[in-house]
Amino acid sequence: MLNRPIRRVLAAPFHRSNKTIMDRQAKDAPLDIAIVGCGIIGTVLALGLLKRDINVRIYDQAQSLREIGAGIAFTANARKCMSMIDHRIVDCVTAVATANGDPENPNNNMQFIDGFTHDPDDPTADDMTGKTLYKLCAGPRGFEGCHRAQFLDAVTELIPEGVNHLSKRVEEVVDDPNGGPVTLTFGDGTTATADAVIGCDGIKSRIRQLILGPDNPASYPHYTHKIAFRGLVPMAQATAQLGDYRARNQHMYGGPSAHVLHFPVAKQALMNVVAFVTDPADWPLDLAMSQPATKGEVAAAFASWGPTVRSIIDLLPPELDKWGVFDAWDHPAPTYARGRVCVAGDAAHAAAPHHGAGAGIGVEDALALCALLEGVQRSVRGQGARKETVLKVAFLAYTAVRRERSQWLVRSSREAGEIYEWNDPVCGADMAKGHEEIKRRSHKIWYFDIEGMLDELKMEYSRRLVPEL
């Protein structure tokens, strides 16, 4: 709760005591929420809560604001959620997003093609002629790439001064069972208090560990046995090698136990390339998820592929990054909350990137939490509800409504990777079957009933709240 000075009351109307007035001031004070993690989801959530007259402080262990990774895309449903959180967030997407294809006539398709099959006796021949290019329309502006760091920079500029607190690594969170504030203890020995804590601290979330327990395998992400090699290519080089259409439009190339994705970012100044390779080895959790790599490693993995894919790999810089792909599918979190502490985004349901929807689902979480906490504030102010009680109710409702869809995404993202890599037991190497299966799954993500989610949240909150009032 804010440490606002309470003015001395000389003559309380109707002979109310000072304690009564202080209780009224406490009830009318805004909620005070601590967010752990100042990445995309934490920042978007903070903007939504601030817009709803809820006090927010963000704590992050980093010494400076930064976002890892290269490309990210938001489809129409994610942008609609953003507009309902704070319309300025959509403006941030527009400011940094890159049109797919011709900016005057954008191509809204995700595109899939066989990148492996070719004539081995003529390794330099055109291997794309005669192949089907499968297209999946994502709707108006449905596939626009952003550079993660540019988008985070844009939304962070909207955060008021004094909200972000860096170099604050959370060690413990204690939820006072007697209704006092939740206390956060940081690695530097300092503490902070809040009415509730929301962990948006990513795939290795400390808050998830505190909710589920250190011995619970669901407290930690697990290796999917996929490596992602990432690189950015100057668009001039990409168009010279691939032609204008291929370089400036998203393409995904399928093949055995690997696949390659590229799409334009940075207002088409760069082509973002991600090459996924199946890895039978282990990747220890204590090893950083990003490791240095060389183009030679990627080239070796795709040496038997068609000339188009090999030419894309040849565009990569000599040194690049490789990422171990982790997710939360092997051991899904059984709950997203305990008491007045909850998790959102990757901290709750980290997914492999094969649907390109992890951030979008996290934005849905942020909208859900904004709606619920706005309802909590109304309950406290209008109905005299106990703040600590209704916060717990809100987080229970959040888990009840959000868990099924978000965990489905975790599973489907893992399975989509196998479809792209011809390992799915039904689709195999049949790209037509694979395209139809990806279409079915993508539509479930894109055509989500946002208003229905908000109605369900309201119903769950109200149903659980009545016995508590």
Task: Quickly count: other Cβ atoms within 10 Å of residue 311's Cβ.
Answer: 14
Which alpha helices (DSSP H) does 275-429 contain, by range? 295-301, 307-315, 346-349, 358-383, 387-420
Q: For residues 93 and 96, what is the distance between their CA atoms, to the nearest angstrom?
A: 6
Catalytic residue among 52, 230, 338, 414: 230
Burial 100-124, CB ≥16 within 10 A → b, else e: bbeeeebbbbbbbbbbbebeeeeee
Residue 230 annotated to the active site: yes
Beta strand 319-327 with 337-338: parallel, antiparallel or unpaired? Answer: unpaired
DSSP result, 420-461: HTT--TTTTT-HHHHHHHHHHHHHHHHS--HHHHHHHHHHHH
Q: For residues 350 and 222, what is the distance between their CA atoms, to the nearest angstrom?
A: 10
DSSP result, 95-153: HH-B-SS-TTS---EEEEEE-S---TTSTTS-SSTT---EEEE--TT---EEEHHHHHH
Residues with catalytic roles: 230
